[in-house]
Amino acid sequence: MGESKPTHSEACCEYCGRPLAPCVVEFGARRIVAGFRECDCEGARGQRARAERMEAAKREARLAERRKRAGIPKRFLGATVQHQDLIDYLESFEGSAGRGLYIYGSVGRGKSYSAAALANAFVDAGYRTVFTTASAMLETRYAACDVLVLDDLGKEDAKEWSSNMMFLVINARYENMRPTIFTSNYSPQALSKRLGRKGETETAEAIASRLSETTIPIHLTGPDMRIASRM
In angstroms, the CA 209 to CA 50 distance is 54
Please say if the pLDDT value at position 101 is more than 80. Answer: yes
To the question of pTM greater than 0.85 for the whole model, the response is: no
**Closest alpha carbon to 111 in 92, 128, 133, 129:** 133
8 A C-beta contact, residue 135 and residue 157? yes
Percent of the chain past pLDDT 90, that is, above it, reads 37
Q: What is the pLDDT of residue 6?
A: 45
- In a 10 Å sphere around its CB, with 0-12 CB exposed, 13-18 middle and 19+ buried, how is residue 84 labelled? exposed
Q: Which of 154-163, 178-187, 204-213 has the lowest mean pLDDT?
A: 154-163
Q: What is the pLDDT of residue 114?
A: 95
Please say if the pLDDT value at position 231 is more than 70. Answer: no
pLDDT tens, position by position, 13-23 = 988 988 888 88
Percent of the chain past pLDDT 70, that is, above it, reads 90
- The gap from C-alpha 178 to its chain's centroid, in whole angstroms, comes to 15
